Chain A
């Protein structure tokens, strides 16, 4: 990858705390982006106003919880996912991104203190030796957009590979997997792609890679020995959504059965107080209702119809375990006939991890 050529467009300044300035990630960025100014600051607050935007990267090794359970959603079924806040912030610019609304004027934070995070992680893994554990870095930003530059995922993949019960998942809307392909010991590492029909990618997903690029990257990853996952989240009910999503589902049949460890589904949603910040996207003019966790979603009956259709197509094309992200027990019962804990092939995903 020609780093300076690509990342120069997305990174205009790099700041690092004194503790992060000599990290491997800092060395890589100074070496690979020689033209981008690199400065030391005591904290994020000290970044000059003109650089408080998403074209600035802030490297930090400040202690603090960087690892924990995914916050889930009140009164909705949680999949007991553990998240590492490796990259906080994202330049992709999806129209529906709630984080965008919060973090627009924030530099992208990269937590470079891998050792500290790994230590926290080990404690959890050791107290759950027989429980399937899913850990991912894609909750606070795209796992792989900056990763070719900083190469931080590699550490976690290699580390987690020692534990047969740990699935370490990187989740992306990019196609940047090449730097991960040569890692010799991958264990149960999962390379996951968020997918949407190309029409929706074009309209809503900023500078994300195309569907074809993502699927090609998935193919490379699986051939290199990774497990795969796909996230249909958010599913947006646009005109002809059935044809569009069926078409994407069909394309997943190219992957060997068993290599896709899970597929998640989630219809588009937003907290009421952020509606204004989402601007005037056409999908916002659909019918949304407030749900019990305070987020607005399509009417339950419509969501159920969407999930049933998409789940049906995906089951047919992949046979992979499916789950819904942040959905109510009512919707689970209507779509799958039961709630997650009662579905056999979801045990690995929904078993509670003790902390």
Chain B
């Protein structure tokens, strides 16, 4: 059995239109009626919206269709999710659609439903999805486009929207993990310094306009540490010019510095020793870093 025209179905409210158009069905399947059937219950489409939209877009006039007996909305939802069959890979926007469907229709979001969506254990599904729903649009967009994970999004939710929009706009400036660190540190600086929306947004823009936004923001988040690093680098550079490598313990956590140098002759050795002797003047300053 086929349905035609399905334009009318598409223009209906589409209560069960929960999923994004993820899968592109090959035209050949449409032309030979080989796509899965659109499912209707009581003349209401339950599953197949994506198929119908694709068919419409490529000018296919009719699609296979199957009518099932009317059933409880919860069962119809199960059927839709089972046919979509992408457990574990639904986007947050789709999870949102499913949760909203459940809430509107008084369907308890139990483990059985969650398992059809998530392929395995997923703690606090409803809570997390509700959090996503509560995010401002710009943050939703960032999460939905997989540019930020939900956990990090939760942490930075109070960042002003213009900052998040800017990070989205300048997406090429940061890698995925840099973006997470950038947003978290921006949020921490905002909280620490009690910055207002305008100030935070200005800070965000300045950072993102810089050649290395992560490094610049890190210096703002860790002012002591970064000035210590700067100071250390100055000392290290003095020695590097003489072919001597100076290293400090990680994060200046420890009690010893190290120097290392190659020497190829007595003369060369003496030159390095002289350089080290000259460096002695800086030793006290160096030790203030530990």
Which residues of A are in contact with B by a Cβ distance under 8 Å?
Answer: 276, 280, 282, 284-287, 289-292, 299-302, 328-330, 333-334
Contact = CB atoms under 8 A, between A and B. Distances in A.
A302 B224 CA distance: 9
A299 B255 contact: no
Nearest to B189: A285
B199 to A, nearest CB: 16
A144 B105 CA distance: 52
Given A285-B188, A301-B228, A330-B255, 5 more contacts: A287-B225, A291-B251, A300-B253, A301-B290, A328-B254
Given A285-B188, A301-B228, A301-B290, A276 B155 contact: yes
Given A291-B253, A300-B253, A329-B255, A282 B288 contact: no
Contact of B290 (A284, A285, A286, A334): A334
Contacts of B290: 300-301, 330, 334
Interface in B217-242: 221-225, 228
B288 A290 contact: no
A299 B225 contact: yes
Contacts of A329: 255
Nearest to B254: A330
Interface residues of B, number: 21
B191 interface: yes
Contacts of A276: 151, 155
Nearest to B155: A276
B192 interface: yes
Contact of A280 (B191, B225, B254, B289): B191
B188 A299 contact: no
A300 B248 CA distance: 13
4 closest pairs, A vs B, by CB? A330-B255, A285-B192, A289-B251, A287-B222
B252 interface: yes
9 contacts: A282-B192, A289-B225, A290-B251, A291-B251, A299-B225, A300-B251, A300-B254, A330-B290, A334-B255
Contacts of A287: 221-225
Contacts of B251: 289-291, 299-300
Interface string B189-231: 1011000000000000000000000000000011111001000
B288 A301 contact: yes
A220 to B, nearest CB: 41
Nearest to B158: A280
User: Which of B151, B189, B254 has the most A CB atoms < 10 Å from its CB?
Assistant: B254
Contacts of B151: 276
Interface string B275-290: 0000000000000111
A300 B249 CA distance: 11
Interface in B171-189: 188-189
A98 B283 CA distance: 39
Contacts of A291: 251, 253
A334 B288 CA distance: 10
A287 B219 CA distance: 11
Contacts of B254: 292, 300, 328, 330
Given A280-B191, A299-B228, A292 B155 contact: no
A354 B192 CA distance: 47
Nearest to A303: B253
A41 to B, nearest CB: 25
A329 B289 CA distance: 16
Contacts of B192: 282, 285-286
Nearest to A290: B251
A328 B252 CA distance: 12
Contacts of A284: 188
A300 B252 contact: yes
A50 to B, nearest CB: 18
Contacts of B189: 285
A232 B248 CA distance: 30
Contacts of B250: 290
Contacts of B188: 284-285
Contacts of A302: 224
B155 to A, nearest CB: 7
Given A287-B222, A330-B290, A299 B191 contact: no
A299 B155 contact: no
B57 to A, nearest CB: 44
Contacts of A333: 255
A284 B250 CA distance: 20
A299 B251 CA distance: 7
B69 to A, nearest CB: 38
A137 B14 CA distance: 63
B191 A282 contact: yes
Contact of A289 (B253, B255, B288, B289): B253
